[in-house]
Structure 1
Amino acid sequence: MKEIALQAGLGLATVDRVLNGREHVREHTRQRVQHAIKELEKQQFQLATSGRKLVVDVVVEAPRRFSDEIRDALESELPGLHPAVFRPRFLMHDTMTTADVVDALKSIGRRGSHGVLLKARDVPEVAGAVAQLQQRGVPVITIFTDIPLSARMAYAGLDNRMAGATAAYLIGQWLARRDGDVLITMSDERFRGEEEREISFREELRRRYPKLRLVDASGGHGLDVQTEERVRRAVGSGRKIVAVYSMGGGNVAILRALESIGQKPKCFIGHDLDRDNVELLHDGKLSAVLHHDLRQDMRTACHHVMHFHKLLPASAVGSSSSVVVITPTNIPQSVEQRFGRRTAQSGISGSTSLAS
Structure 2
Amino acid sequence: MARISIEDIAKAANVSTATVDRVLNRRGGVSIEKERRVLEQARKLGADRDLQRNPGKILRFAVLMQHPSNPFYDALQKSFRYARSLYQTANIQISLHYYEGNQGVSERTIEEVSILASRIARQHDAMIVALPNEPVLVRTMDDIASRIPLVVLSSDLPLTNKLAYIGIDNLAAGRTAAELMGRFIGPQGGPILVISGMQSYVSQGQREQGFRALLASRYPHCYMQALVETRENPQQAGQLLADALRQQPQLAGVYNLSTGDQSIARVLALHEQRFNHKPIVISHELTPERRQLLQDGVIDAVIDQNPEKEALSALATLARHFAREGERPLGIKPEITVYLRENCPT
Output the TM-score relative to the length of structure 2.
0.75
Of 97, 117, 122 in structure 1, the residue corresponding to residue 128 of structure 2 is 117
Are positions 1:131 and 2:142 aligned together? yes
Offset from partner CA, 1:116-149 (integer Å, 9 cap, x none): 111111122111111221233x211111101024
Q: CA deviation at 1:82?
A: 7.7
Q: Secondary structure at the match of 2:252?
A: strand
Map of 2:294 onto structure 1: 281
Of 301, 309, 330 in structure 1, the residue corresponding to residue 314 of structure 2 is 301
Are positions 1:90 and 2:103 aligned together? no
Q: Which moved more, 1:184-193 or 1:85-94?
A: 85-94
Of 204, 221, 246 in structure 1, the residue corresponding to residue 214 of structure 2 is 204
Offset from partner CA, 1:323-353 (integer Å, 9 cap, x none): 1111122223xxx3xxxxxxxxxxxxxxxxx
Change (3 A) 1:318 1:154: closer
Map of 1:157 onto structure 2: 167
Q: Secondary structure at the match of 2:93?
A: strand
Change (3 A) 1:218 1:88: farther
Map of 2:332 onto structure 1: 319
Q: Secondary structure at the match of 1:329?
A: helix
Q: CA deviation at 1:234?
A: 3.4
The 1-side partners of 2:329 and 2:209 are apart by 32
The 2-side partners of 1:122 and 1:233 are apart by 28
Aligned partners of 1:139 and 1:153 also within 8 Å: yes
Change (3 A) 1:113 1:81: same
Map of 2:248 onto structure 1: 238
Aligned partners of 1:217 and 1:231 also within 8 Å: no
Structure of greater relative contact order (alpha carbons < 8 Å, 6+ residues apart): 2
The 2-side partners of 1:205 and 1:243 are apart by 12
Q: CA deviation at 1:255?
A: 2.5
Aligned partners of 1:130 and 1:150 also within 8 Å: no
Are positions 1:141 and 2:154 aligned together? no
Offset from partner CA, 1:50-105 (integer Å, 9 cap, x none): 45633221111255322211111222334444863432222223425221111011
Change (3 A) 1:89 1:315: closer
Q: CA deviation at 1:251?
A: 1.0
Q: Which residue type is aligned with residue 123 of structure 1?
A: E
Map of 1:353 onto structure 2: none
Are positions 1:72 and 2:74 aligned together? no
Change (3 A) 1:120 1:184: same
Q: CA deviation at 1:106?
A: 1.1
The 1-side partners of 2:235 and 2:138 are apart by 30
Q: Which moved more, 1:58-67 or 1:167-176?
A: 58-67
Map of 1:219 onto structure 2: 229
Are positions 1:108 and 2:120 aligned together? yes
Aligned residues: 283
Q: Which residue type is aligned with residue 267 of structure 2?
A: A
The structure with more radius of gyration: 2
Change (3 A) 1:72 1:64: same
Offset from partner CA, 1:278-332 (integer Å, 9 cap, x none): 1101111111111122222112111221233233466444722111111122223
Of 171, 196, 199 in structure 2, the residue corresponding to residue 186 of structure 1 is 196
Map of 2:29 onto structure 1: none
Q: Secondary structure at the match of 2:343?
A: coil
Are positions 1:169 and 2:186 aligned together? no
Structure 1 alignment gaps of length 5 or more: 1-48, 337-356
Q: Which residue type is aligned with residue 120 of structure 1?
A: L
Output the TM-score relative to the length of structure 1.
0.73
CA RMSD of aligned residues (A): 2.3
Q: Which moved more, 1:320-329 or 1:51-60?
A: 51-60
Structure 2 alignment gaps of length 5 or more: 1-52
Aligned partners of 1:231 and 1:257 also within 8 Å: yes
Q: Which residue type is aligned with residue 297 of structure 1?
A: E
Change (3 A) 1:225 1:126: same
Identical-pair percentage: 21
